[in-house]
Amino acid sequence: MTEPAVTARQGPARLCIFRLSAIGDATHVLPVVRTIQRYWPETTITWVLGRTEAGLVGDLAGVTYRVMDKGRGIPHCWRRLHEAERGRSHDVILQLQSSLRASLIATALRGRRRIGFDRDRAINGQGLFVNERIAASPRQHVLDGFFGFLDKAGLPFRELTWDIPLPSAALAFAQKTISTNKPVLAISPCSSQRFRNFRDWPVSRFIAVANHASECGFQVLLTGGASARERDYADAIRGGVRAPVVDLVGATSLKELAAVLAHCKGLISPDSGPAHIASALDTPVIGLYATSNPARTGPYRHREFVIDRYPDALRRYRGCAVDAVPWGTRVRHPDAMELISVDDVYKKIDLLASRSA
């Protein structure tokens, strides 16, 4: 579809995007930035984000960054942002985060239009900190919700382009690490460790699907952070897989991880940052979803590879259907992920293998 031209005169002179976390959400912001850059090329963009997330997306050309160390607390972040923004004012501020911490830190910004979520999504009192709201649009993917901010700001188009910059050193690392003629299937077995998160799949099932992937001709590669939990998962998987496994758990920066995932034919992962990085790079994700709804938080691309047992988990552990609970409801039960069978994953691996061939 041909879109009408949008001139620079229609865009604000200065626009600020406020989204501190998390890694997955940072990847969802990228198409918003790319859309602004395409249709409002004269608009100056400032992005306030977290230090971890800056390690992945903190080097986009033409963007000014305000990097916050969230671990140092609200007063520190507020002072740092206030000092960096001294004497500056934005025509539009997109407050893409509705936590109270984010809202308080964002008061250090000066701006004429402060756009927040609609009433249902403006939780934690965000409505007290903004003067405009996006249109209500229930049951959206998070990324689609972010585009609602551009609609409100006056830019109704979408540029579904991510283009994560991959420096030459990261690309060289990936090429050195993946020195095989086999197609590579990555496994990132753990999600972030949060209270009552329950997103991890049993390690015995990861071993089974890793062996199946090897039998299908894939080189299995493990990714993950440096926590003891992730190390234990990796050691158990390596010990149970009959073929050699490339182990990069705790051994990559976010840029190196992105470069590796860009070289992979696919990734197996629960709801996690690596899943969204892979999706942004157009690498299919065999997403393992039971405790959260992939229609809201799943990989945005190649959704045919996602395994969705969320409706089953709701029925079993809450006695209701998806349309009977608020959007974004999580299933807080430690056994919910076991509803995903190894056969579910085998089928997706076989589909990936057929496409790779």
pLDDT of residue 341: 98
As a whole number, the mean pLDDT across the chain is 95
**One domain, residues 206 and 346:** yes
Claim to verify: residue 142 and residue 260 sit in the same structural domain: no
User: In the chain, which ranges are E strands?
Assistant: 14-18, 44-50, 63-68, 90-95, 111-116, 132-133, 184-187, 219-222, 246-247, 266-270, 285-289, 307-308
Same domain, 74 and 203: no
Domain count, the chain: 2
Q: Is the pLDDT of residue 194 over 80?
A: no
Range of the domain at 331: 168-356
Helices (H) and strands (E) in the chain, counts: 13, 12
pLDDT value, residue 266: 98
126 and 208 in a single domain? The answer is: no
Q: How confident is the model at residue 101 (pLDDT cuts 50, 70, 90)?
A: very high
Last residue of one domain, picked from the residues 123, 153, 183: 153
- Span 200-222, average pLDDT: 97
Q: Based on the fold, state whether residues 193 and 109 are members of the same structural domain.
A: no
What is the C-alpha separation between 189 and 249, in angstroms, rounded?
Answer: 10
Please give the average per-residue pLDDT across 153-157, as a whole number. Answer: 97
Residues 279 and 248 in one domain: yes
pLDDT at 8: 42
Q: pLDDT category, 195, cuts 50, 70, 90? A: low
Same domain? For 187 and 233 the reply is yes
Secondary structure class of 247 (helix, strand, coil): strand
In three-state secondary structure terms, 150 is: helix
Q: Angle, nearest 10°, between helix axes 203-215 and 228-240?
A: 50
Q: How confident is the model at residue 1 (pLDDT cuts 50, 70, 90)?
A: very low
Asked if the model's pLDDT at residue 6 lies above 70, the reply is no
pLDDT at residue number 192: 79
Query: Is 161 a domain residue?
Result: no
| Dihedral sign (CA 197, 202, 206, 212) | negative
Helix (H) or strand (E) holding 148: helix 142-153
pTM for the model stands at: 0.95
Do 135 and 203 reside in the same domain of the chain? no
143/183 same-domain check: no
DSSP structure string for 62-88: TEEEEEE-GGG-HHHHHHHHHHHTTT-
Residue 199 located in a structural domain: yes
| Residue 349, pLDDT score | 98
In a domain, 130, yes or no: yes
CB atoms within 10 A of CB 292: 23
101 with 179, same domain: the answer is no
Tell whether 140 and 172 lie within a shared domain: no
In a domain, residue 69? The reply is yes
Query: The domain spanning residue 272 has which CATH number?
Result: 3.40.50.2000
